[in-house]
């Protein structure tokens, strides 16, 4: 009999994100979705906002980024920074470093 586990390394085999943002699911259940996000200079298109039905917790593991909220707040993220974004809190990725990979760990939950 074998246990049903899945092992990985968040830093290994990073996909090329020089042309597009890459979302990779790591774990999913009815109430939670965990993903690795890899960016390199990508931002949310001008005039668009994320307005997600689930809360989101994000940890920046590598690189740098800036989030902008519809309220006007701007949040700079550096390695090790994390932020919790409530459901339906309009936000966008305003900047990621185009000279280095930015690696995010995101958890979406109810």
pLDDT digits (tens, 9 = 90+) for 65-109: 999 999 999 999 999 999 999 999 999 999 999 999 999 999 999
Q: What is the mean pLDDT of residues 21-30?
A: 96
- β-strand pairing of 32-39 with 74-77: unpaired
**What is the three-state SS of 22-41?**
EEEEEEECCCEEEEEEEECC
Going by pLDDT thresholds of 50, 70 and 90, the confidence category of residue 1 is low
d(CA 47, CA 90) in angstroms, rounded, equals: 11
| Residue labelled with tokens 């993220």 | 77
The domains located in the chain, with CATH, are 22-109 (2.60.120.10)
* This prediction's pTM: 0.91
């Amino acid at each position: 009999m074998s246990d049903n586990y899945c092992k990985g390394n968040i830093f290994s085999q990073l996909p090329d994100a020089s042309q597009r943002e890459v979302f990779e699911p790591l774990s999913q259940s009815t109430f939670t979705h965990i993903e690795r996000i890899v960016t390199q200079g990508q931002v949310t298109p001008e005039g668009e906002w994320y307005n997600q039905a689930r809360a989101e917790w994000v940890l920046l593991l590598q690189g740098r980024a800036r989030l902008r909220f519809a309220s006007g707040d701007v949040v700079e993220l550096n390695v090790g920074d994390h932020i919790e974004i409530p459901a339906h809190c309009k936000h966008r990725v305003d900047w990621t470093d185009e000279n280095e990979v930015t690696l995010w760990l995101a958890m979406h939950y109810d």
